[in-house]
Amino acid sequence: MSSITLHDKSFRPFIPYERLEAAIDAVAEKINSDYEGCEDVPVLMCTLNGAIMFCAELMKRLRFKCQLSCIKLSSYQGTQSTGTVLTTLGPTCDVKGRRVIICEDIVDTGNTIIALQEMLQHQGAAQVRICTMLLKPEVYDKDVPLDYVAMEVPNAFIVGFGLDYNELGRNLKDIYVLE
């Protein structure tokens, strides 16, 4: 793996796919142990676009009946969080009375995920749990505990495996960090 350039910035290799895979295996097992044998059909809420790769990898490891729904939120411009969370699409199913597992790519300040959790609770979800592939624990400042975290990362800007820098880099199989 060598460094890459996206727009005006260089990124160096940071987390290889094999490590992501192992972390996703482990988090999927935790979810399975909590939900396997359930009689309801929980909703897996994929936060577009970033979580699309993680959600696909996670879903194929889950051993209970679940429904996929998507929602699109936006709080980032370039490499900075703006603090305001906007819903630009979805959710693509009615969550009333349903148990929902939010499937997020990365939790930074937590603004996005907490706003989404509150929104789904408002819409009548029976339970809303949070599953994130990555967490920046140095930045996350909310009191809400995160139910499932696949991997923790330092406070740096990263791309790849769904994560973008101004819409580029999502297709990278490994994760790269800003140089």
Active centre residues (catalytic): 108
> Taking CB under 6 A as the rule, which mask of x and - marks residues 111-140 in contact with ligand IMP?
xxx---------------------------
Q: Provide the minimum distance between the beta carbon of 26 and ligand IMP in the complex, in angstroms, as a whole number.
A: 21
Cα separation, 167 vs 21, whole angstroms: 23
111 binds, among ligand IMP, Mg ion, none (CB under 5 to 8 A by kind): ligand IMP
Cα separation, 140 vs 153, whole angstroms: 11
Number of residues forming the site for ligand IMP (CB under 6 A): 18
Using CB under 6 A, which residues numbered 10 to 49 contact ligand IMP? none
H helix intervals, 36-167: 52-59, 111-122
Cα separation, 63 vs 59, whole angstroms: 9
Cα separation, 90 vs 179, whole angstroms: 35
Where do contacts with ligand IMP occur on this chain (CB under 6 A)? 50, 75-76, 81, 104-113, 157-159, 163
